[in-house]
Structure 1
Amino acid sequence: MGKALIPPDGGHVESINLREALEERYLAYALSTIMGRALPDARDGLKPVHRRILYGMHLLRLDPNSAFKKSAKIVGDVMGSFHPHGDQSIYDALVRLAQDFSSRYPLVDGQGNFGNIDGDGAAAYRYTEARMTEVAQMLLEGIDEDAIDFRENYSGDLKEPVVLPASIPNLLANGTSGIAVGMATSIPPHNIAELCDASLALIKNPDATAEDLVQYVQGPDLPTGGIIVDTRAQITEAYRTGKGGFRVRARWHVEDQGRGTYQIVVTEIPYQVQKSRLIEKIAELIQTRKVPLLADVRDESAEDIRVVLEPRARTVDAALLMESLFKLTELESRISLNMNVLSKGIVPKVMNLSEVLREWLEHRREVLVRRSAFRLAQIKHRLEVLEGYLVAYLNLDEVIRIIRYEDEPKQELIKTFSLTDLQAESILNMRLRSLRKLEEFEIRSEHEKLSAEMAEIEALLGSEDKQWKTVAWQIKEVRKTFGPETPLGKRRTGFADAPEHDVEDIQQSMIEREPITVVVSEKGWIRALKGHVSDYTTLTFKTDDGLKMAFHAETTDKLLVFSTGGKFYTLGADKLPGGRGHGEPIRLMVDMDNAQDIVTVFVHKPGRKLLLASTDGRGFIVPETEVIANTRKGKQVLNVDGTEEARICVEAAGDLVAIIGQNRKFLVFPAEQVPEMTRGKGVRLQRYKDGGPADVRMFSTADGLTWMDSSGRSYTRTAEELKPWIAERGQAGRLPPDKFPKTNSFGTPPLK
């Protein structure tokens, strides 16, 4: 093997560091991808493939007024002359330029099947035909007037443009996206009229920042419309940094069907979302009952989009239904902004709004200067010729004699009349029929006009201020073409604040509402039986376990669990284990300490208040909304120390508090003496020598206090009858009224 590697005589072995070789080659590949394929030029907003397609169509004279040509012809010419890559990649780029749902201002006018918003592809290029649009012509305006540089194509036998003159700010107008090596770009389309306004403001004030320009460029203007629901601050920040994103929602309205029924109609969907996939997703959510508020979805689209959503019932809140769909489907999508472009066509960098527009304006000024210089050269050439014609007219007989009789007429003309080579050549090339037109007036008139134009151009080239004024005039003309009142220039994407819907409401709307019976065992196991069960004697439990509590609820409810550690935990009723088995331990569903037990479980009612008490007789009132826990860890509300535990959680409704201790001492005091807090130990409700509170109720003076004995009989005592027991908070109390249960419990449910 070793001998085989030795080169023949005259050769030599060169050692190459593998790492350096790979770095060098990979860097070359990365640069070619960044500059030659994936990133757009900041000046004309085009990648090489798009620029070559437009230039190829220009050479084929496919102007907006010309006849269409087969896409296969265009693809073939572009591939053969400028873009030696796959024909499919060229055709895909061509198709995208023609789709009015992909490009805000299409550059290609397509005839035939160019795909649709449902995601169907275009027909093969042998079937479709294309030509340029007027917008594309504006990008090429002045290309034959030395406005831009040309470079050799890949084979060196033709020239291709380095950049297009671009009389519109195409980078932002049509947007672009691309993935290079180590960097990517994503720019959504914008409104040309707004970009023109921002550009004019930038010419007036070259120091204008992105924040200043956002008052003109409100945000993206997407081909498919929709509504952007970001705040002005978020939009401004995205344009200030050149990186960010926009939340775009579908546009919808409610159609009244009569008799109180309605349907929702979606007329615009977010940019780059395939309608067919979107409808499939919604249908799938209906089947899996993820959106119980929705009954059906239909696609009634023709030329315009019309997706019909039928609510489950007439009572369904349309806004809430749409909020749940925005969360679950692409009816709301995020459009990213990453203005990573090639500055001057060479340096890749992330630019902000003012930098991108400034780059385009500098390019427009350079194009103006170059086109003016080109026109100036043409004028000078023509003036030289006209001056020669004037000499010929004034000395016509002598000129004719020289041409007829002299052997070297050209040299003789130059010598006799002090003409230049060009003037002599022009006179000699004149047709005889032109002699009758060679009137001095016409020659002098054209000479004067051209001289005046030359003076204007020279003044323009000599004054930067005049150049910017001309660029501003050109931009104003573009704005007229794409003004807000024109069909193409009218803004399609609107702005709105996302409706303030409670996250809880939205989550609830995604749960199908069904009646359930929640069963909690003594050992803290929980399950949910379907329907509202009233007979609990048939329930089975594990050995040494029994029924602690059971209550009716619905799958959309939230359950609150209060532990002896003074913590509240939140469970979704829809997530409870089914009633076939024994359920699951609550302490496994939340992060509850093994040493702690469950005081109570109940259905959350937002407006309610709770009275909490611990084993040492301390307590306070807390609004129920303050005890909701958003995590498995729960929320500490009642603080307990050492051997103390949370014991009581009852509804706080009324102006009096009745408390009975384990020592069978009974006390009634005003509810206003108990503070309302969100967390703490609370105040002493009743004083004990030993033991603690057995039960507490709050009641109103008007209704009196009701309790129930073990036989199910209820007794009510008025506030007047309870006067002997009414005292200040924190006292020891006295033995309870007659017929009070020996269990030291009020017997009535603490939380209904």
Structure 2
Amino acid sequence: MPDDIKTPPAGGSSHETPLADALSERYLAYALSTIVSRSLPDVRDGLKPVHRRLLYAMHQLKLDPEAGFKKCARIVGDVMGKYHPHGDSSIYEALVRQAQDFAARYPLVEGQGNFGNIDGDNAAAMRYTEARLTEVAQALLDGIEENAVDFRPTYDGEEKEPLVLPAAFPNLLANGAAGIAVGMATSIPPHNAGELCGAALELVRNPDATVDDLLRHVPGPDFPTGGILVESKEAIREAYATGRGGFRLRARWDVEPLKNGTWQVVVTEIPYQVQKSRLIEQIAQLMEEKKLPLLGDVRDESTDVVRLVLEPKSRTVDAKVMMETLFRATALESRFPLNMNVLDADRTPRVMALKDVLRAWLDHRHVVLVRRTEHRLAAIARRLEILDGYLIVYLNLDEVIRIVREEDKPKEALMAAFGLTEVQANAILDMRLRALRKLEEMEIRKEHKRLSAEQKKLQGLMKSEKARWDAIAEELEATRQKFGDGALGKRRTTPGAALPEVAVDELAFVEKEPITVILSEKGWIRAQKGHLPDEAELRFKEGDSEQFRLHAQTTDRIVLFATNGRAFTLKADAIPRGRGDGQPVRLMVDLSNEDAIVTLFVHEDGAKWLLAATDGKGFVVKGEELLAEKRTGKQVLLVDPPKEACVCIPAEGDSVAVTANDRLLVFPLDQVPEMARGRGVQLIGLKDGELKDAQVFKSKEGLAWRHGSGVRVETDLRSWRGQRAGAGKSPPPGFPRNRRFGV
């Protein structure tokens, strides 16, 4: 290392620090800065620093609701130059979002110009758009000039900015919030302000109110884009009680009848934060992939009002079933998470329940009320002091005039003559001559009386906590009346609707077409289009060959039965398609290298199957008991290694034929019990050797087995008939040496 690097700078010092310690210290500082200054909102006003600085800068520019608009470039410039030393694009994006009525439930900024739309189009450049505050933002700022909150120096020390806004509006829950910090995040959906004020009033009247008491006022979120809430009441309660959870939201739709018995579905409200253009693209893409077979067409007929038209494939389609398939496959149904992770009054991040958030807002309003009252009392005291001085003038007018005219130091003379304070003396000396009219004296006495009465009232307020909470209750009621009614305050999201019970076969998402499922001896599975004939030649990897070939439909469920007694289920449309080698079946199901597939077949409702293991035990099982659409499958036949399952055949007939090493036994099928899971019963007696194969057949049709290149059928089976678990007899001449029926 060069010497000049080792030498500390003149007048300074250096010390060595382990890299891990230096990194952790700096990363911790970065994490805290991100959490406190960027990502998490304050529970009291529901704002992040950039939003708070925007509103305060607009307030300083006097952009009140009654004032004119100003260019957004001017607003962004003020915010960036005075309060928020970050990029102008991030500031403008925050301003734009506060002005979008489809993004903010109660917009804090009123925009003029192009501020984007629900399709996801961006706003115009800031030099083209204008903005001013809304009445909601005005309510957040109300009292900020009356010492209601603390201020701190800005980043350059030239200005001051508020630590928090007075917040006469429940902004955190009303407008919601979202943000990702380092190691934590927040996600709060919007709510109805009138309902929040009702819940806050409940909490004022009853500080011990439970979450159930509050939920009578707040049934759930209220999104600016409307929609239908389909979350259960139990899940909603749990979410608000813990501060964590989520809400499922569906689009609002209606059936619009057309001529000749046809109809179409019209979607008028889509879920919150879903871009309409992307939603239509998603639906069109799924239609192209043939995953929405019930839907014929989709059109966007929206103006400033959402109107998506969905045409069914045919008029015989059930509208509810069609919409259920769309809800499951598209963003017409979405889930909005709830994670009320916010900064409390001490700037500490923590997850709060609904009651905690409302309590924190009410406590903040109490602090604001006390500070504003103290500020007003101080102002009244100053004014009364001056008014008392004025009244002394009127009582001693001639003497006051003489002192002013003749004395070299009139201020000191007035203070000595009448016992005035310096403030009163200065006010008298600054008084204009025309204020000495009798009429002015009457006005001053009226003002003095009015201020004295107000002072007495405010002093009583400061002495009584109950009176303060009564005053807060009046403020809440006024806020509810102002923002809880009308077009802005009316609830838009239908709350607490139970999830409609519409039976939809998941296979409705798949277009039905014939396929041939092929499983190789080495366990590679694939599907080819169409039903291939038995003589069709198939290609496999070198050293591999065909084991099973099965005709099926893409809407079928394929059951695989393995030597370990487990059954697995695959959706036919999920099996790799094409003329390639396919995919190892062990990647699709949890099957060890020691186990193999005994057979695979298409599931049919009502079918029954005979299962058996090499130890000679088995039973009959319903086909539904073999279904298990999970990777680990389902244990049906219990076997102990080295024994293994070897038979899974349709139980269609009245008799069972079972083969062992050198014996054949035939007995009635009704002697085999029907079970859902287990080892079963002994099918054939075994002293040594093992069960080889089994077949269920109809007695009048006879027992068949492969003989040479053909099939032999034996109808006279008296020599081999017996009872279940019998020893059996030697198979007839010509029976396959491997003791397998092979048909």
The separation in 1 between residues aligned to 2:409 and 2:594, in whole angstroms, is 122
Which residue pairs with 2:554 in the alignment?
A: 555
The separation in 1 between residues aligned to 2:546 and 2:658, in whole angstroms, is 25
Structure 1: tracts of 5 or more residues without a match: none
Which residue pairs with 2:603 in the alignment?
A: 604
Identical columns (%): 56
Which residue pairs with 1:625 in the alignment?
A: 624
Cα deviations by residue, 1:47-81 (Å, 9 ceiling, x for unpaired) = 22222221221122111111111112222222333
1:679 counterpart = 2:680: no
The Cα of 1:728 is off from its aligned counterpart by 7.3
The separation in 2 between residues aligned to 1:598 and 1:116, in whole angstroms, is 56
The separation in 2 between residues aligned to 1:409 and 1:279, in whole angstroms, is 83
The separation in 1 between residues aligned to 2:582 and 2:57, in whole angstroms, is 72
After superposition, the Cα gap between the structure-2 partners of 1:622 and 1:437, relative to the gap in structure 1 and judged at 3 Å, is farther
Amino acid at match of 2:308: V
**The 10-residue stretch of structure 1 (458-467 or 169-178) with the greater mean CA deviation from structure 2:** 169-178
The separation in 2 between residues aligned to 1:140 and 1:524, in whole angstroms, is 70
After superposition, the Cα gap between the structure-2 partners of 1:13 and 1:466, relative to the gap in structure 1 and judged at 3 Å, is closer
Retained in 1: the 8 A contact 2:621–2:674? Answer: yes
Which residue pairs with 2:385 in the alignment?
A: 384
Amino acid at match of 1:659: V
Which residue pairs with 1:477 in the alignment?
A: 478
TM-score normalised according to structure 2 size:
0.84
After superposition, the Cα gap between the structure-2 partners of 1:525 and 1:3, relative to the gap in structure 1 and judged at 3 Å, is closer
Retained in 2: the 8 A contact 1:41–1:341? Answer: yes
Cα deviations by residue, 1:464-488 (Å, 9 ceiling, x for unpaired) = 2211121122111111122265533
**The 10-residue stretch of structure 1 (273-282 or 418-427) with the greater mean CA deviation from structure 2:** 418-427
After superposition, the Cα gap between the structure-2 partners of 1:395 and 1:698, relative to the gap in structure 1 and judged at 3 Å, is farther
Which residue pairs with 2:202 in the alignment?
A: 201
The separation in 2 between residues aligned to 1:24 and 1:589, in whole angstroms, is 46
Which residue pairs with 2:106 in the alignment?
A: 105
The Cα of 1:627 is off from its aligned counterpart by 1.0
Cα deviations by residue, 1:128-163 (Å, 9 ceiling, x for unpaired) = 111110001001111122212223333333332222
- Please give the secondary structure, in 1, of the residue aligned with 2:220: coil
Retained in 1: the 8 A contact 2:109–2:137? Answer: yes
The separation in 1 between residues aligned to 2:354 and 2:95, in whole angstroms, is 27
Retained in 2: the 8 A contact 1:392–1:399? Answer: yes
Cα deviations by residue, 1:602-630 (Å, 9 ceiling, x for unpaired) = 21023433343456664323221111233
Retained in 2: the 8 A contact 1:540–1:582? Answer: no
After superposition, the Cα gap between the structure-2 partners of 1:743 and 1:68, relative to the gap in structure 1 and judged at 3 Å, is same
Amino acid at match of 2:554: T
After superposition, the Cα gap between the structure-2 partners of 1:597 and 1:79, relative to the gap in structure 1 and judged at 3 Å, is closer
TM-score normalised according to structure 1 size:
0.83
Cα deviations by residue, 1:410-465 (Å, 9 ceiling, x for unpaired) = 44544444444444444444444444443776554443332222111001111122
After superposition, the Cα gap between the structure-2 partners of 1:316 and 1:557, relative to the gap in structure 1 and judged at 3 Å, is farther
The separation in 1 between residues aligned to 2:725 and 2:8, in whole angstroms, is 105
After superposition, the Cα gap between the structure-2 partners of 1:280 and 1:439, relative to the gap in structure 1 and judged at 3 Å, is closer
Cα deviations by residue, 1:518-565 (Å, 9 ceiling, x for unpaired) = 5678998866553356x5345568899999876642111012233455
Map 1:433-512 to 2 at 5 A.
433-438=434-439, 443-483=444-484, 486-492=487-493, 494-499=495-500, 505-506=505-506, 508-512=507-511
Cα deviations by residue, 1:233-292 (Å, 9 ceiling, x for unpaired) = 433343344344434333334434455544343333333232222322332233333444
Which residue pairs with 1:44 in the alignment?
A: 45
Retained in 2: the 8 A contact 1:667–1:733? Answer: no
Retained in 2: the 8 A contact 1:267–1:304? Answer: yes
1:367 counterpart = 2:368: yes
Cα deviations by residue, 1:143-202 (Å, 9 ceiling, x for unpaired) = 122212223333333332222111012122222233444444333322222222222232
The separation in 1 between residues aligned to 2:362 and 2:154, in whole angstroms, is 27
The separation in 2 between residues aligned to 1:599 and 1:160, in whole angstroms, is 75
The separation in 2 between residues aligned to 1:499 and 1:418, in whole angstroms, is 82
The separation in 2 between residues aligned to 1:441 and 1:16, in whole angstroms, is 76
After superposition, the Cα gap between the structure-2 partners of 1:318 and 1:84, relative to the gap in structure 1 and judged at 3 Å, is same
The separation in 1 between residues aligned to 2:128 and 2:294, in whole angstroms, is 46
Retained in 1: the 8 A contact 2:561–2:598? Answer: yes
The separation in 2 between residues aligned to 1:287 and 1:595, in whole angstroms, is 42
Which residue pairs with 2:635 in the alignment?
A: 636
Amino acid at match of 2:79: V
After superposition, the Cα gap between the structure-2 partners of 1:733 and 1:459, relative to the gap in structure 1 and judged at 3 Å, is same
After superposition, the Cα gap between the structure-2 partners of 1:517 and 1:180, relative to the gap in structure 1 and judged at 3 Å, is closer
Cα deviations by residue, 1:366-415 (Å, 9 ceiling, x for unpaired) = 11111111222222233333334444444445545555555555445444
1:95 counterpart = 2:92: no
**The 10-residue stretch of structure 1 (184-193 or 683-692) with the greater mean CA deviation from structure 2:** 683-692
**The 10-residue stretch of structure 1 (164-173 or 542-551) with the greater mean CA deviation from structure 2:** 542-551
Map 1:233-312 to 2 at 5 A.
233-259=234-260, 261-312=262-313
Retained in 2: the 8 A contact 1:220–1:493? Answer: no
Retained in 2: the 8 A contact 1:414–1:420? Answer: yes
**The 10-residue stretch of structure 1 (580-589 or 104-113) with the greater mean CA deviation from structure 2:** 580-589
Q: How many equivalent pairs are there?
A: 729
Amino acid at match of 1:16: H
After superposition, the Cα gap between the structure-2 partners of 1:433 and 1:572, relative to the gap in structure 1 and judged at 3 Å, is same
- Please give the secondary structure, in 1, of the residue aligned with 2:116: coil
The separation in 2 between residues aligned to 1:204 and 1:227, in whole angstroms, is 31
Amino acid at match of 1:675: P
Which residue pairs with 2:122 in the alignment?
A: 121
Which residue pairs with 1:335 in the alignment?
A: 336
Retained in 2: the 8 A contact 1:146–1:371? Answer: yes
Retained in 2: the 8 A contact 1:251–1:268? Answer: yes
- Please give the secondary structure, in 2, of the residue aligned with 1:438: helix
The Cα of 1:218 is off from its aligned counterpart by 3.1
Amino acid at match of 1:638: L
The Cα of 1:338 is off from its aligned counterpart by 3.3
CA RMSD of superposed structures (Å): 4.4
Amino acid at match of 1:155: D
The separation in 2 between residues aligned to 1:34 and 1:493, in whole angstroms, is 34
Which residue pairs with 1:165 in the alignment?
A: 166
The separation in 2 between residues aligned to 1:258 and 1:583, in whole angstroms, is 49
Structure 2: tracts of 5 or more residues without a match: none
Retained in 2: the 8 A contact 1:114–1:121? Answer: yes
After superposition, the Cα gap between the structure-2 partners of 1:631 and 1:66, relative to the gap in structure 1 and judged at 3 Å, is closer
The separation in 2 between residues aligned to 1:442 and 1:461, in whole angstroms, is 28
The separation in 1 between residues aligned to 2:593 and 2:85, in whole angstroms, is 71
The separation in 2 between residues aligned to 1:518 and 1:21, in whole angstroms, is 60
